Each structure stands twice: as structure tokens, then as C-alpha cells.
Amino acid sequence: MSELRGACIIGQSGGPTAVINASAQGAIQAALKADCITRVLGAAHGIKGVLEDKLYDMGKEDPAELDLLQYTPSSALGSCRYKLADPDVDDTDYKRILEIFKKYDVRYFFYNGGNDSMDTCNKISKYMQKVGYECRVMGIPKTIDNDLFGTDHCPGFASAAKYIATSCMEVWQDAHVYDTGMITIIEIMGRHAGWLAGSAALATWAGFGPDLIYLPETDFDLTDFLEDVHRVYDKTGKCMVAVSEGIHRADGTFISEAKTSATDGFGHAQLGGLAAMLADAVKLETGAKVRGIELSLLQRCGAHLDSLTDVEEAKMAGRVAVESAVAGITDKMVAFACTRENGKYECKPNLIPLTDVANTEKKVPREWINAVGNGVEQAFIDYVLPLVQGETTAPKENSLPRFAKLKKVLTTDC
């Protein structure tokens, strides 16, 4: 494969995670090192930054600050939820992207995101091929939801899982101090896949966690749920429940849907308020003191509880994307192929076609959820436990996080 010289663009898309910046760091640092990459550009707010010609010159950043990206949650370059049209229907955006690519001689495009972002990647690559513009396009996975197809897991998931498990263990302690009844309902993110809610089971496995866990992979029945809670509560005077925000009735409607009507840029319903809603129902049913706790944004930005494994893998994913593209590869996403034999965990990068990933959701296997659908099996624990291992040594200033402070010099200002 002949050497391809030119600039690269790195973009972040979709909901942020605690380690999406670690992937950005991995990609940026690898790109800055690559001889054939002439300029490293960061897209402001993902593909929107490309469309609007808002690109940061990453070569102008202080290397020490770039190195702090791995400990900085959320999307340092800015993110977006922007869905590109079908190019056969409306190619306006694609023409504009081509124009910008030509303007900066962009020959490498790295996009870090979830299913929708892989779809974006894929569409751009196909368009560039169609118009004969040589550009290598690589996807870097991320999503706390862990629902990307073709990879053992996604960067961002493990740190969120660790945050959830640790928080559940702590709340368990708090919810067990009085000798009076207490029911706690913890609402966890995950619209269609229960990887995060299921991870609350790590807390139970470690000795202090939810008695009941409900994933969106099974239908949710309020009557069954109230019976479950009542049974546990009658026995112990306490009950701790973890629910996915995406639990739904047999007809597919979300339990929380009545309360919200807003949708995000991709047309997904915005869920929330579920913990409070279930808490009200449980209070009415049991008469017990009930607390609904929504982990909300905290669970996806809690970098202080990052899994070191997650951070290292996230950096690796970014680095491998760049190194692979430089080596001539295109149209792939960096997936993870993992083994967990005899308690030994190994994770290797595995490049899979973007077309395979785009818009496919990976759910928790039904057999990893118990038969009645109110908990997970040991197979789930065996899967997630290696992923949450290790702590970072994130620097602090005055015992508070020291996040990366980027200059974000726009190319138009250079």
C-alpha cells in the first residue's frame, strides 16, 4: 500500500463517556507521531465542526495537556448528535465535507462514537469512494451503553459500570443503617441494552448491592415488579432495586415514557424520572420509606472512578485506528477481541467493517439474565468483572481533579 500523505481529522460524537477523551488522546498522539500525517485537526463538535469549518490545530496544544485527556471525562473537542442524510436523497452535507477535506488536504478521518457515529463514518467513506477522493476512514468505538455490534465491549462502558457498582455498594451501606424499613430504587442509563443496569450486580456479587435488577432485554410488568419488591422487603425490611431507564412493557412502550416527550437529535425518546415514578408506586404498595435515585449524568462522567483497563483500552483503540489507517486500512472500526480463560483476561484490537457495526445494537444475551427477569447470572459477572479492574493515577490540584485545558486554536485563526 502506497503512503498516503495529508492531514487528519479526529472527531467525537454522541453522548460523552468518562474515557472518550482517552481515545482522542490515543489517536491525536499517534497522529502527531505519524510522518505521513501532515496536520492533526480536531473537529469542534464532531461532524458539525467539519461542516462549519471549525477545526482545531491539535499540533498547537501543550503535550502535557494532551496527556491529561485520558483523565478528563466528556468530549474535550465537543460532541454532536447530528445524523447525516442518505446521500442518495440529499448530498449537501457530503459535498460540504468533501470541500473541507480538500481545503485542508484531509486524507484521514477518525470518528469516535457509538452506532450512529459509525453510520456517519460509513456514509462519509462511501461517498468519498464514490467521488474518487482518497481518504481513509476509521471508527473508534465508545458508548457507556456497550451496545456496539462486533466488539467484546466498548470503551466507556467499564468505567460507567465501575461507577455504578461502587455507588450501589455505598448506597447499600447508607440504605441499611436504620432498623426501619427502606426501599431504594436506582435508575441506570441504557435505553435498549441492559449492560449498565446489569453491572449493578457487581455490587451484589461484592457483598452489598441490589436485590433485584431489571434490564430492558425482558418485558417489565409493574405487578410482577411490585410483588418482587414486596417479597424481598417482607423478608428483610429492606430492598434495593436497580432498573434500566429503558425498561418497557410487553407492547414496547417505555415505563418512563409518559413523563417525557422530548427527543434527541436522532429521534430517540429522552427517558428519565423513572426512579421517582417507581418509588411512588412502591410507596403506595408497601407503605415503606422509598428513595428513588437517578444516577443521571454522574454515571457517564465519573472519571474519578475510571477503570484503568478501560482507560488503557480506550487509548489503544484511538492509537490502533490511526496506526491502521497509516498502514493502509480503511472503513473499519477498532473492535476488541477478548479472552477470559482461567481467570486471565486479554484484550486485542480487531478491525471489523464499519458496515457491520452501523446501526446494529448488541444486547445482553437472554441466558445471562435470570429466568424471571429480575437479576443477572454469573456469566454476566464473569464478563464485566475483568473490565472494571485497575485504578488510574489521575493528577489532582488541591485534591480536586486536574482536567486537561486545551487551547483549541482554530485553523481559521492560524
Nearer to a second copy (CB atom), residue 269 or residue 329: 269
Nearer to a second copy (CB atom), residue 73 or residue 216: 73
Is 145 one of the catalytic residues? Answer: yes
The CA distance from 271 to 259, in Å, is 8
The CA distance from 47 to 99, in Å, is 13
Q: How far is the CB of 34 from a second copy (least distance, A)?
A: 27
Q: How far is the CB of 201 from a second copy (least distance, A)?
A: 12
The CA distance from 154 to 335, in Å, is 8
Q: Which residues bind a second copy (CB under 8 A)?
A: 12, 16, 44-45, 48, 72-75, 78-81, 162, 165-167, 169-171, 173-179, 184, 202-203, 206-208, 262, 273, 276, 289, 291, 293-298, 300-305, 307, 385, 388-391, 396-401, 403, 405
Nearer to a second copy (CB atom), residue 88 or residue 179: 179
Which residue in the block uniquely carries the three cell numbers 419488591? 229
Q: How far is the CB of 393 from a second copy (least distance, A)?
A: 11
What are the start-end ranges of the H helices in 104-156? 115-130
Q: How far is the CB of 399 from a second copy (least distance, A)?
A: 5
Report yes or no: 156 and 310 within 8 Å, Cβ to Cβ. Answer: yes
Cβ-Cβ contacts under 8 Å for 230 (sequence gap 6 or more): 285, 286
Q: What angle do CA 404, 405, 411 make, to 5 degrees?
A: 120
Residue 175: DSSP 8-state:
H
Report yes or no: 79 and 45 within 8 Å, Cβ to Cβ. Answer: yes
Q: Active site residue: 93, 116, 119, 145, which one?
A: 145
Nearer to a second copy (CB atom), residue 6 or residue 401: 401
Q: For 225-327, where are the E strands, in sequence order?
A: 238-244, 290-294
Nearer to a second copy (CB atom), residue 231 or residue 345: 345
Q: For 181-318, where are the E strands, in sequence order?
A: 182-188, 212-214, 238-244, 290-294
Q: How far is the CB of 86 from a second copy (least distance, A)?
A: 23
In degrees and rounded to multiples of 5, residue 315 shows phi and psi of -65, -45
Which residues are 6's β-sheet partners? 37
Q: Catalytic residue numbers? A: 145
